[in-house]
Structure 1
Amino acid sequence: MARTPIDKPRVFISYAWESDEYKDRVRSFATELRSAGVDVVLDQWELREGNDMNAFMEASVADESVTNVLILLSPKYEEKANARAGGVGTETQIISPEVYGRVSQTKFLPVVFMRNPDGSIPKPAYLKSLLHFDLSNIDSYGSEYRRLVQALYGVELLPKPELGTKPAWVDEIDAPSSRVLLALDRLKGNEPPQIKRAAFESELATALDAIARWNKSPADYNCQFKYLNMYLDVLPLRNDFNRIAKCYPYVENGHTLVADALERLSRNLREVQGDWHNTELKETLVHELFLYFVAIMQGYGDARALGDVLSREYQFDQHSNRYLGFGMFYHHDDELSSEVGYRDGQSYISPMAKFWLENIDPDTCTGEAFILADELCFNAAILLGRESVGDTWFPKTYIYDGNYAVMRRFANGLRSESRLEKAAAIFGFKNPESFVDRFREVEVLDKAGEYKEYRYRNAYGSAPLLCHFVASEQLGKKA
């Protein structure tokens, strides 16, 4: 339920009278709120000798100018509320009907002020279902206090993201061909290993040959966004390849066969002359297919396969007189970027990423997994030193990793000894020690500004390196 902005918040504080020290703490909290522009109704300030306490409490809770009632939870408060004893008991009788009677109420806000001796939250029965703020922990007090004040002003603590557009694949009837289904059954069955391998190689070749032979051009389309529609038309071929690639674990060293097949397709596209738009689209598709394959291997948790694919040498480049790394699959498509922006009337920071994510193949991976694959490739290129020979990888999708949550989650896992060992394998290192050594080198270079150019000019943040989220001295320190 959306909050209503409040210009001048006014709150009543309900709490249990305990020690003088506790009452001083409550008063200090109320003073802190007032300094933040929140008007506070507090009995210590409002009541005088001879005043009716019950009438004061009832009037304060019912007062329409009071925008929120803060219920400060403590062991004594829970005890008195459940027993309906003392002033707290009176307030409970006043407040509980309001809480029980209004399913969507937001006026009454429980605030954990002091925990039980065992660390549990002293929440009375009638408040059990309400979410709370927690000011009982000194380490998180600052952030929780900020959240509370934002709530008192009616500011959304987690604004709901804008509603996107319907993905193109929703209306598609995207069933795999009967040939692909038959091949999948054979690969998952009890055929001898050599038969499975032959079938897998054959299906990979067939899937990629279908892409290579796909021969449409903008002239075949009578619509405004010709290139976009070309790309949409080739997506079923993309999905067929993904379904075959997902079966690589059924074949010994199947990941190598997939990487070899993608390399052959990429090399052939560079050597064969054809319609410029058609070739451009296919090179972009190879980039996308490689990211899907990385996501597939990561999804299986197959660190060895992923490390092989990311660290191996591919085609020999006579121009540079060296073997290329996986950067040979990288491609930037100006035509696609231009049409996505024109279609939506938007100046996207990364139109290619926008298009890929809105047309994600949901049977292969999620959007988050696709983004992680892109960010892993970027980090692999840096860690393996590929950028020093001009064979790097820029993660086009990183701006869709909100608050770097995807990369942050992966990086934080490296604090674990077992995750560190797996990460070393993912990035092609022989052991965790050599990975940590290189990680430390990248960390130093990053602090010196070596990688600051890896960012979109009009984006807030830079492309995420692992060392942005976890320090080298923290690696593998948890069992």
Structure 2
Amino acid sequence: MSERAEANRKAFISYSWSTPEHKAWVRRLAERLTEDGVYIILDEWDLKPGHDPIHFMEQSITNPEVTKVMIVCDRVYKEKADGRAGGVGTETQILTPEIYRMTDQGKYAALVTEVDDEGNAYVPTFYGGRIFIDFSDPEREEEAYEELIRWLNDAPLHTRPKLGKTPAFLTSGDAKPLATQSRFRRAKEALDRGVPGAASLVRDFGEGLIEQLIGLRPPGSSGQNDVPIDEAVVNAANAMRPYVKQVHELTRSIARTTPQAFDEILAILELVLSTTDRARGTTAWTPATFDANKIMAYEAFLGVIATLLAERQLDLIARALDHPYYYDDPSGGHGRSTKDFGDFSQYAEVLEYRNRRLNQNRADWQADFVHQHYQSGSPSFVRMMEADLLLFIRRPVSEESKYYSWFPHTLIYTGGWGSALELFARMESAQFFALVSQKLFGAVSPQVFKERVSALNGERLWRGVYPGMSIGSIAGVGQVASRP
């Protein structure tokens, strides 16, 4: 089979024999395009003695197998085309009706190689004001060539994005989209495009987020419209969760494009933590007032760490774990103070009442919420478990203490789990273990890591749960640093 028959792309070059240099330029272009997989029809190669030049031109232009026609335009080409002179004039008589009646406007394109003294492109009258590819500036020739090869292959640099789904608020019966949607979109797009000032847009989003986390709290201790208080708390948490997931999405954008803006996520987490207690001057509240915020504080921090694990951003995880979170404690004797990451893991007491009221005897409602709402999307439920394990063992491993400050709700779902979660499975590499240990566990040795994690195996975190989780198993202590 011939090259011409095998080629997916066939293109004809129409040009003027203006000068030997111009002919050589066209030939070099044809050779390069051939090397890049385009079958080029060129008179120097294809027009043989005994051939009819007019028939050759007509066939080359109108043949449906020719997917593209390049019109190389310089001053001489324009003059001959407009004056219908020579071979160019003949091609013009064929091209003109083709261009004007064509249904596929992507078949013909002018390649401008020369401009006049005022910078105007030499294009023939029949081409009109159509868009051309500019080869007139030698310094931009590579950019022009990329544009040409993309056009020849119908592979533009900018393509229409995949059509998405109708916004959920239009089909779910909700009256309006998330109140922070506009701020979130501006911040995310700025981060993804690396726009200066993106951090300030993240900050602006954070301010709107906290307004919602406060405004969506349940109304009172007895619920509303005969809704039990535990149901009101769960409903409030469900309403808050989409806002928290926006924090996770912004974290992913920052991890991928703008790690230096991570301080803004830490600032947002501080604000999220502040919603778990009353503000100064508050005179009326119940314990259940802040339970939805406690549920969300746990999910917010856990999801940030899970997202960073998925992006393999160990340095940002270390910053999140070591950061002193500003906390204006209204009950503290000294007023303002800071908290560590463990304070994001608070128990919502109203869930005990929920167990009694529903008579379901669930061991961990907060784990159930995460399991229910993180089955799809990012971060995934498995990543959330991975983050929970990391946060649970971090203090006991790095500080040689059996005291842990983080309750790992989702690990209840690892009962009978037979293998290590990803971060810990990867630590079978001694090199990777050393990296993780240095950044997250105080640079402990593999032996110390194994001993301290194994000491946690006996922890009974949930009453009546069998089989219980095996910390050693999901942390992969048997394989830690077992390979180079």
TM-score interval for Structure 1 and Structure 2 normalised by the shorter chain: 0.5 to 0.7
Q: What residue number does 2:136 align with?
A: none
- Would the aligned equivalents of 2:420 and 2:473 in 1 still touch at CA under 8 Å? no
Say which of 460, 463, 466 aligns to 1:457. Answer: 463
Structure 1 CA distance, aligned partners of 2:431 and 2:356? 43
Q: What residue number does 1:329 align with?
A: 344
Identity %: 13
Say which of 213, 216, 219 aligns to 1:217. Answer: 219
Sort the Cα spacing of 1:454 and 1:354 in 2 relative to 1 into closer, same or farther, 3 A: same
Q: What residue number does 1:184 align with?
A: 188
Alignment of 1:247 with 2:250, yes or no, is yes
Q: What residue number does 1:356 align with?
A: 370
Structure 2 CA distance, aligned partners of 1:469 and 1:281? 30
Sort the Cα spacing of 1:361 and 1:289 in 2 relative to 1 into closer, same or farther, 3 A: farther
Q: How far apart are residue 331 of structure 1 and its match?
A: 0.8
Structure 2 CA distance, aligned partners of 1:211 and 1:387? 35
Q: What residue number does 1:383 align with?
A: 397
Sort the Cα spacing of 1:202 and 1:267 in 2 relative to 1 into closer, same or farther, 3 A: same
Structure 2 CA distance, aligned partners of 1:184 and 1:264? 19
Sort the Cα spacing of 1:220 and 1:394 in 2 relative to 1 into closer, same or farther, 3 A: closer
Q: Deviations over 1:91-110 (max 9, x none)?
A: xxxxxxxxxxxxxxxxxxxx
Structure 1 CA distance, aligned partners of 2:203 and 2:270? 14
Length-normalised TM-score, structure 2 = 0.53
Alignment of 1:416 with 2:429, yes or no, is yes
Say which of 253, 267, 279 aligns to 2:274. Answer: 267
Q: How far apart are residue 329 of structure 1 and its match?
A: 1.0
Sort the Cα spacing of 1:355 and 1:408 in 2 relative to 1 into closer, same or farther, 3 A: closer
- Would the aligned equivalents of 1:314 and 1:323 in 2 still touch at CA under 8 Å? yes
Say which of 228, 231, 234 aligns to 1:231. Answer: 234
Q: Deviations over 1:460-479 (max 9, x none)?
A: 2445434775447x432323
- Would the aligned equivalents of 2:394 and 2:440 in 1 still touch at CA under 8 Å? yes
Structure 1 CA distance, aligned partners of 2:419 and 2:470? 10
Alignment of 1:296 with 2:298, yes or no, is no
Sort the Cα spacing of 1:268 and 1:339 in 2 relative to 1 into closer, same or farther, 3 A: closer
Moved more, 372-381 or 176-185: 176-185
Structure 2 CA distance, aligned partners of 1:341 and 1:364? 33
| Unaligned 5+ runs, structure 1 | 1-168
Q: How far apart are residue 365 of structure 1 and its match?
A: 2.2
Sort the Cα spacing of 1:337 and 1:386 in 2 relative to 1 into closer, same or farther, 3 A: farther
Q: What residue number does 2:152 align with?
A: none
Length-normalised TM-score, structure 1 = 0.53
Structure 2 CA distance, aligned partners of 1:243 and 1:361? 16
Q: What residue number does 1:281 align with?
A: 292
Match for 2:241: what amino acid?
R
Match for 2:243: what amino acid?
D
Q: How far apart are residue 198 of structure 1 and its match?
A: 0.8
Q: Deviations over 1:306-325 (max 9, x none)?
A: 12212333348867999642
Match for 1:366: what amino acid?
S
Structure 1 CA distance, aligned partners of 2:278 and 2:250? 29
Sort the Cα spacing of 1:350 and 1:443 in 2 relative to 1 into closer, same or farther, 3 A: closer
Q: Please list, as runs of the form range in 1=range in 2, the aligned pairs for 1:188-207 lying within 5 A after superposition.
A: 188-192=192-196, 195-207=197-209
Q: What residue number does 2:111 align with?
A: none
Sort the Cα spacing of 1:173 and 1:393 in 2 relative to 1 into closer, same or farther, 3 A: farther
Sort the Cα spacing of 1:358 and 1:186 in 2 relative to 1 into closer, same or farther, 3 A: same
- Would the aligned equivalents of 1:353 and 1:397 in 2 still touch at CA under 8 Å? yes
Match for 1:255: what amino acid?
F
Q: What residue number does 2:482 align with?
A: 477
- Would the aligned equivalents of 1:416 and 1:478 in 2 still touch at CA under 8 Å? yes
Structure 1 CA distance, aligned partners of 2:229 and 2:276? 21
Q: How far apart are residue 360 of structure 1 and its match?
A: 3.1
Structure 2 CA distance, aligned partners of 1:240 and 1:285? 10
Structure 2 CA distance, aligned partners of 1:406 and 1:468? 6
Q: How far apart are residue 413 of structure 1 and its match?
A: 2.4
Q: Please list, as runs of the form range in 1=range in 2, the aligned pairs for 1:358-373 lying within 5 A after superposition.
A: 358-360=372-374, 362-373=376-387
Q: How far apart are residue 400 of structure 1 and its match?
A: 1.0
User: Over aligned residues, Cα RMSD in angstroms?
Assistant: 3.6
| Unaligned 5+ runs, structure 2 | 1-168
Structure with bigger RCO (C-alpha 8 Å, 6+ apart): 1
Q: What residue number does 1:439 align with?
A: 449
Number of residue equivalences: 298
Structure 2 CA distance, aligned partners of 1:208 and 1:284? 15
